[in-house]
Amino acid sequence: MLTFLDHIPDGLLSCSASGLQAILPGPTLIQLPGRRPRPLFVSVLLHGNETTGLAAIQSLLDKYRDKQLPRELCIFIGNVTAAAQGKRHLDGQPDYNRVWPCTGFADECAGNTEEHRMMRQIVDHMHQRDVFASIDVHNNTGLNPHYGCINKLDNRFFHLATQFSRTVVYFIRPTGVQSMAFADICPAVTVECGKPDQPHGAAHAADFINSCLSLAEIPAHDIASHDMDLFHTVATVSVPEHIRIFFDGDDDRRVPSRDEIHFRPDLDHLNFHELDADITLGYVHPQLNTLPLQVIDEQGNAVAARYFRVHDGKLHTTREVMPSMFTLDETVIRQDCLGYLMERMPVKEDE
Ligand SMILES: [Zn+2]
């Protein structure tokens, strides 16, 4: 299902994500020569509605229209058919950022769809090409700063990620993501560029890709602790399917029924803020004594009670915690999750 190209096809630099289908037959790997060998790998549109990566690549390639690239560049344009419909993925398709090979989690990554095989083919191909580094460009739907995600605690990964943002998130769940597959073969980062259609998101991603293309090497020495805010994703928060979701929670609203949660309307404003214990996130039926949230830690354990409790019709935090990617978009909540919980990690430095 993968198309290989060694040139920029006509129309690619000016088309919209929804118009790509007229130019590309499907998922496509475009390999472009540059001054230095060892290609930089960049993937865009693994989620068809996250268009910032395409816009970044378009402006970068436009900049080098009459110039040689400083380094070989391999661009993977992912879910072209979902992009045509402005969706993360189509019904019947897997999520293109959950089907990458992952060593160490064989039981969770045993899928063998056409998409699994394609992602394996890409990783093997880039391994053979001695890939220099990997960047996967995404958007999210809540209110979040721009930040990088890594799956390995390694100085080269820290240096790569902090070229994009001083805010860096380390995670090992969910598995099957692009940056985790590439972490086995080169420094790899996922960059979260805020909401789609924000021009500064595309400009930031384009600048980042350009500076990586121009790097001779990625340093392996320690990073200064004041140059990075490192967080660790410790759990994934979802809403069980039978619970109905609202974002109109406040103290004087009518009493919710037992199958409803009324989150506070500014839930996504809590992202990347360190919350105290006893912060109210939403409102539930006053006699409800089971948590209307599912929280799964990195080991796959259900740990909702470690972070949340319901009391007197309110859903509270029980300890200091920092949310990320909390979203008000019900489609995303149902297809993926409500968001993640993080804890700050110390950055160790040799004296
Ligand atoms: Zn995404």
Question: What pLDDT, on the 0 to 100 scale, is given for residue 350?
Answer: 56
Average pLDDT, the chain: 94
Evaluate whether residue 351 is within a structural domain.
no
Tell me, in angstroms, the distance from the centre of ligand 1 to residue 275's CA.
25
Residues 241 and 179 in one domain: no
In the reported structure, the alpha carbon of residue 337 is separated from the centroid of ligand 1 by a whole-number distance in angstroms of 12
Ligand 1 centroid, distance to 137 Cα (angstroms) = 8
CA of 139 to the centre of ligand 1 (A): 6
- Helix ranges (DSSP H) in 109-198: 114-128, 155-162, 178-183
Instruction: Give the distance (Å) from ligand 1 centre to CA of residue 197.
Output: 14
> Directed axis angle between helix 199-214 and helix 52-63, to 10°?
50
**pLDDT, tens digit (0-9, with 9 covering 90-100), for 268-318:** 999 999 999 999 999 999 998 899 999 999 989 999 999 999 999 999 999
CA dihedral 63, 64, 70, 75 (to 10 degrees): 90
Question: Looking at the structure, do residues 202 and 313 belong to the same domain, yes or no?
Answer: no
Please indicate, yes or no, whether residues 19 and 133 belong to a single structural domain of this protein: yes
Tell whether 198 and 283 lie within a shared domain. Answer: no
Of 191, 221, 251, which residue constitutes the final position of a domain?
221
Instruction: Tell how far the Cα of 349 is from the centroid of ligand 1, in angstroms.
Output: 32
Is residue 339 domain-resident? yes
Query: CA 330, 336, 338 angle in degrees (round to 5)?
Result: 60
Chain centroid, CA 100 distance in Å: 14
Quick one: the chain helix, strand, coil %, rounded to 5?
A: 25, 25, 50
**Same domain for 158 and 268?**
no
Q: Is residue 227 part of a domain?
A: no
Q: How far apart are CA 293 and CA 279, in angstroms?
A: 15
Note whether residue 40 is domain-resident: yes
Q: What is the pLDDT of residues 231-277, one digit of tens each?
A: 999 999 999 999 999 999 887 777 899 999 999 999 999 999 999 99
pLDDT of 349 > 70? The answer is: no
Whether residue 141 is contained in a domain is answered as yes
CA-CA distance, 248 to 259, in Å (whole number)?
A: 15
**281/146 same-domain check:** no
Asked whether 157 and 67 are in contact (CB, 8 A), the reply is no
* 109 pLDDT more than 70: no
pLDDT surpasses 60 at 351? no
Residue 92 CA, ligand 1 centroid: distance in Å: 18
Domain coverage including residue 328: 233-344
Given a cut of 80, is residue 110 above it in pLDDT? no
Residue 31 Cα to ligand 1 midpoint, Å, equals: 23
- pLDDT at residue 103 tops 90: no
User: Which of 170, 187, 221 is where one domain is finished?
Assistant: 221
Q: Are residues 217 and 237 in the same domain?
A: no
Query: How many A from CA of 193 to the centre of ligand 1?
Result: 10
Residues 71 and 129 in one domain: yes
**Ligand 1 centroid – CA 55 distance (Å):** 15
- The answer on 281 and 196 residing in a single domain is no
CA 218/CA 71 separation, integer angstroms: 14
> Would residue 228 count as lying in a domain?
no
Distance 131 CA to ligand 1 centre (A): 22
Please report which helix (H) or strand (E) contains residue 274, including its range.
none
Listed in sequence order, the residues at least 6 apart from 350 whose beta carbon sits closer than 8 Å to its beta carbon are 222
Of 221, 251, 273, which one is at a domain's C-terminal end?
221
In a domain, 131, yes or no: yes
- Centre of ligand 1 from the C-alpha of residue 90, in Å: 14
Per DSSP bridges, beta strands 244-246 and 260-263 are parallel
* Confidence band of 72 (pLDDT split at 50, 70, 90): very high
Ligand 1 midpoint to CA 287 (Å): 37
Which CATH number is 24's domain given?
3.40.630.10
* 44 C-alpha to ligand 1 centroid (Å): 9
CA of 290 to the centre of ligand 1 (A): 31
Residues 21 and 107 in one domain: yes
Do 73 and 127 share a structural domain?
A: yes
Indicate the number of domains in the chain: 2
Gap from CA of 311 to ligand 1 centroid (Å): 34
Run of H or E residues at 21: none
List the Cα angle 249/139/127 in 5-degree steps.
140
Q: Return the bridge partners of 350, or none.
A: none
349 is a domain residue: no
Paired with 135 in beta bridges are: 42, 189
pLDDT average, residue stretch 136-164: 96
Report the separation in Å between the CA atom of 42 and the middle of ligand 1, taken as the mean of its atom positions: 14
Place of tokens 């979040």: 144
From ligand 1's centre to the CA of 136, what distance in Å? 9
Model confidence, pTM: 0.92
Query: How many A from CA of 46 to the centre of ligand 1?
Result: 7
Instruction: Return the number of other C-beta atoms located less than 10 Å from residue 61's C-beta.
Output: 18
338 and 247, same domain (yes or no): yes
